[in-house]
């Protein structure tokens, strides 16, 4: 694949995957869908992306943060640390209708990965917030033919 091909076709080198589909969520944890890296030529990196929408229930504060977990068997999950003592995660979102990302090196990750979104509120009456999270995989060992 030539450099000009990748410049004009970003889809040839990245794969977006939704992990947490858009939903209204109360306080708690949402375990996203499992992503099999083997189906993506063991992608060596990713961008973890989270989005929040409007809040309901009038909370005085809200926090949404998404972290990456990995698993060797698609059953036993742990927070992914990329060889460091720091869990790989996005910064917390505290404003409605916002988004952010975190770039993550997957070279030490197990075969399966998933986003996990944690939602918390202060105050309010049964508060909820719209959330979604996805992973953009890159750095595949072998790119698809163009």
| SS3 at position 71 | strand
Instruction: State the chain's mean pLDDT as an integer.
Output: 91
pLDDT on residue 23? 97
pLDDT on residue 145? 53
* 5, containing H or E segment: helix 3-8
The token pair at 59 is: 């909370």
Architecture of the domain spanning 3-138 = Sandwich (2.60)
* 101, containing H or E segment: strand 98-105
CA 46-51-53 angle, to 5 degrees, is 175
Q: Which of 99, 24, 30, 94 is nearest to 59 (CA)?
A: 94
pLDDT on residue 89? 95
pTM value is 0.90
The token pair at 28 is: 């708690």
How many CB atoms are located within 10 Å of the residue 51 CB?
19
Query: What tens digit of pLDDT does each residue of 47-73 get?
Result: 999 999 999 999 999 999 999 999 999
d(CA 100, CA 50): 6
The token pair at 82 is: 């990329």
Locate the domains of the chain by residue range.
Answer: 3-138
Mean pLDDT of 9-35: 92
Lowest-pLDDT range of 9-13, 42-46, 101-105: 9-13
d(CA 114, CA 46): 11
| pLDDT over threshold 60, residue 146 | no
The token pair at 18 is: 């939704």
């Amino acid at each position: 694949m030539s450099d000009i091909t990748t410049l004009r076709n970003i889809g040839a080198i990245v794969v977006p995957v939704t992990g947490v589909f858009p939903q209204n969520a109360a306080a708690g944890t949402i375990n996203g869908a499992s992503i099999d890296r083997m189906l993506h030529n063991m992608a060596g990196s990713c961008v973890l992306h989270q989005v929040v929408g409007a809040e309901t229930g009038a909370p005085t504060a809200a926090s949404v943060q998404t972290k990456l977990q990995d698993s060797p068997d698609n059953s036993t999950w742990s927070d992914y640390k990329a060889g460091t003592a720091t869990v790989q995660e996005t910064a917390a979102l505290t404003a409605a209708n916002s988004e952010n990302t975190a770039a993550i090196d997957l070279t030490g990750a197990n075969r399966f990965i998933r986003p996990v979104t944690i939602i918390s509120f202060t105050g309010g009456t049964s508060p909820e917030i719209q959330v979604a999270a996805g992973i953009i995989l890159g750095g595949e060992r072998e790119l698809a033919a163009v």
